[in-house]
Amino acid sequence: MLLPTDVWVAALIRRAELGGAFATVARRGDARAGGVLVKVFDTATRQATLYTEAFGPDGARLWIRPVEAGPEGEIDAFAQRQLGYDPDLWVVEIEDREGRHFLSEAVAPGG
């Protein structure tokens, strides 16, 4: 059984804050079953990385990078397009001087 999205997002934000990063919900989606985009802004390099959830063959949550890391505006534009396809989508933004994502689930190679 998967956690409701709002509970999962709250836990991610808490992990980031405990790690010394700033994290916030930029957009709320469906509280029970909305998808999640996690945008990480590396304050040292001024680059942003986007992670989106997918599910592996075993049904476990897996995180992938749908686009290459780049300027924050480009990442925001991609996220905005995704919101046009999925109005239930959540967007969590994390600012960290080390560019950490704080995801506890598996992240695909390169992420």
β-strand partners of 87: none
pLDDT band at 7 (very low <50, low <70, confident <90, very high): very high
pLDDT of 66 > 70? The answer is: yes
How many folded domains does the chain comprise? 1
Supply the pTM of this predicted model. 0.92
Per the structure, the complete domain to which residue 72 belongs is given by 5-107
| CATH number of the CATH domain containing 101 | 3.40.1530.20
Helix (H, G, I), strand (E, B) or coil at 6: helix
Degrees to nearest 5, angle at CA 68 with 3 and 25: 35
Give residue 90's Cα distance to chain centre.
Answer: 8
pLDDT tens, position by position, 12-35: 999 999 999 999 999 999 999 899
8 Å CB contact between 48 and 40: yes
